[in-house]
Structure 1
Amino acid sequence: MRKDIAAVLILTTLFLGSRRGSAFLLDMDCGRSLPTRLTPNIYSGNRTDILANPWMVSVIVKGEAKCSGSLINHRFVLTAAHCVFNDQMQVHLGEFDPLNPGDCGAGARIPNAYCVRVDKKIVHAQFIQTQTQQYDIGLLRMQHAVRYSDTVRPICLVINESVAAIDRFQITGWGTTEEGNPIFSRFLKNTVVERIDRGRCSSKFQEQVDESQICVGSWMSDTCRGDSGGPMSADILYSGRYRTIQFGIISFGLSSCAGLTVCTNVAQYMDWIWDVLNSSSA
């Protein structure tokens, strides 16, 4: 193992162990990004880039982009449980071409990007047992740790603390940009959604949406095919500094790609995330 990767692993373990005590961030280097290089098009959303969202991950299955995810530390990607497949999986981080994901073993490398195979997949046990829309959360362990840079950096998860209630969020992804279009977007896009009463989502989807989920929507734009597993986030002033904190994981929405989306409520699963990281970091 190279010395630089070994050092990264040592740093990662500093944030694991007992979660008792005061609040802290899972990774202290999280939630920092650079201004986008692009001007302000996810479905009818705004075009952005990886500098503004360095935690964004494309989840690849058998060489095909299937879902999105978020980098949460040097070695783990947070995504939806339904985005975890039995087939060979890999993740792409940084600046890469989402329409030509290729294979991590092909030898091609882009200076500001990572292509890493997944060596461990963890899905919430109750998602497997119940096959309901709840518990739609999973973690992917990369074969090796990644170094942080302007284009690769984790999103924030807060441990031991309830962050103030937020009603407006950002969702980001490379999903299709219109209903019926099977082709993912070459450009990363984002949009703003607002919290909606869970009863409205329960009624619309004919599926119980509970406190472990967040119902959001927008009249102008929404998630679409390929955005599943990606982060729903907000910029929060935390310890005197604005950071991007993840509140949800895109779970499911309308087939029309417009109106309502249900996200897994990350705060409800922080104990589960913590336990998985502690047991699977070696």
Structure 2
Amino acid sequence: MVTLKVLLFIFVLSNNRNLFTFAQTRRCFDCVSVTSCEIALDYARMIRVGTLPNESRQVFMKAICGFDPYNRMPKVCCSDFPVVNTKTRGGIPEEDSNLSAESIENHRNVGLLPLHSCGDIDGARITGGEFAKLYEYPWMTLIAYNTTTMGQRFLCGGSIINSRYILTAAHCVILNGKFQNIAGVRIGELDYSTDTDCQGHGFNMICETKVQDIDVEEIIPHENFNELNKSAGGDIALLRLSEPIIMYNNAAPICLPLYDNLRTMSLAGLRGTVAGWGTMENNVQTTKLMKVEIPIKSRDECISSYRSPTVKTFCAGAMKKDSCSGDSGGPFMVESDFNGTIRLVQYGVVSFGKKCGDHPGVYTDVSKYMDWILDHIKE
């Protein structure tokens, strides 16, 4: 209740009589209830206690984009709020060096990631999910493993981040302290039970036969990953392919949260999409790519399901809607403003969870590992 009182205090202080008229015309991709925007709550608290200057109220007021009748609270464009560190030194917020534009946007390897042609949305708009469309998620990949009992099997997913690298989970590449026996990566697949993927009917039918199976040249798990305690963080890895991917209709990179506005955006309250070839609600393994849209939970909601989730993860899910076994390593995607264009940006990597669909799943927060990714890729 203290938080709500603080927000109401700031909200009422505005002398702008045209506030709600302005709010109704304000448009942004992350207009959510202020109670779901943790960075706005932090901002409000710091204004109230005087850590931020009084003029910062204008940032709060300009972020208002509507009204949430259920909570009877304003809605805000969550990405409008600059990150504020609640740890202070002499009353002044400490700078968070991990979010420094100097270390990310000016990184020596930033040019190795796609800055324009990534995360395209095709215009068509897993547990509790539905089948993905042909060409809808061309960055989705399957990781194949050589098993001793069942031959070669697809057991994890990943995403294309450029022509030589796949982003996945560390637990998909390490088992019992050793690298897993990865046979390769498949690119461009929709239904791996068939040689031809088709969509539509009659003269409107489109079919695709082109897939790429590429060997892995190098496995790069995060050095802090502990397979006995995935909640400790570091469940992220890169696979360097032995040859470049041929970019095609069904092979293209996903955008990563490269820019400052993406890395500092509060995710709580937003909705995103997870895709994969994992187990469905009837405990049957699907051979066709599925997708599901789910809400991102607040940190408090995540803590209620998991004792001590690291700040480098987030939770997402809804009843009977979740990532599940076999989806590991796949991307959690959110429509975002990527350098002036609305794209799908990968904010998460499927990490772990409890019983599928009963508790929110845990995702590695890619925005917290951008420096690590850039440090470990090469031409």
Could you say which residue in structure 2 is the equivalent of 1:30? 118
- Mean CA deviation greater in 221-230 or 239-248: 239-248
Contiguous gaps of at least 5 residues in structure 2: 1-103, 147-151, 196-207
Secondary structure at the aligned position of 1:202 is classed as helix
Secondary structure at the aligned position of 2:292 is classed as strand
Task: Report sequence identity in percent.
Answer: 31
Contiguous gaps of at least 5 residues in structure 1: 1-17, 102-109
Name which of 303, 311, 319 aligns with 1:219.
319
Cα distance, 1:50 vs structure 2: 4.2
TM-score normalised over the length of structure 1: 0.79
Cα distance, 1:35 vs structure 2: 4.5
**Structural mapping, 1:1-282, within 5 Å:** 19-20=105-106, 26-27=113-114, 28-35=116-123, 42-62=126-146, 63-85=152-174, 86=179, 87-95=181-189, 97-99=191-193, 111-128=209-226, 131-133=229-231, 134-163=233-262, 164-166=265-267, 167-178=270-281, 181=283, 183-206=284-307, 208-278=308-378, 281=379
Q: CA RMSD in A?
A: 2.6
Query: Which structure is higher in RCO with an 8 Å CA cutoff and minimum separation 6?
Result: 1
Cα distance, 1:118 vs structure 2: 1.0
Q: Which has the higher helix share?
A: 2
Cα distance, 1:140 vs structure 2: 0.6
- Mean CA deviation greater in 224-233 or 158-167: 158-167
Could you say which residue in structure 1 is the equivalent of 2:88? none
Letter in 2 for 1:178: E
Structure 1 stretches of 4+ with a deviation exceeding 4 A read: 128-131
User: Does the 8 Å contact 1:33/1:54 carry over to 2?
Assistant: no
Cα distance, 1:200 vs structure 2: 2.9
User: Does the 8 Å contact 1:198/1:210 carry over to 2?
Assistant: no
Give the Cα–Cα distance (whole angstroms) in 1 for the partners of residues 238 and 134 of structure 2: 21
Give the Cα–Cα distance (whole angstroms) in 1 for the partners of residues 358 and 134 of structure 2: 24
Structure (1 or 2) with the larger CA radius of gyration: 2
TM-score normalised over the length of structure 2: 0.60
CA gap 1:243/1:127 in 2 versus in 1, 3 angstroms:
same
- State how many pairs are aligned: 247
Secondary structure at the aligned position of 1:273 is classed as helix
User: Does the 8 Å contact 1:50/1:95 carry over to 2?
Assistant: no
Secondary structure at the aligned position of 2:303 is classed as helix
Give the Cα–Cα distance (whole angstroms) in 2 for the partners of residues 122 and 54 of structure 1: 23
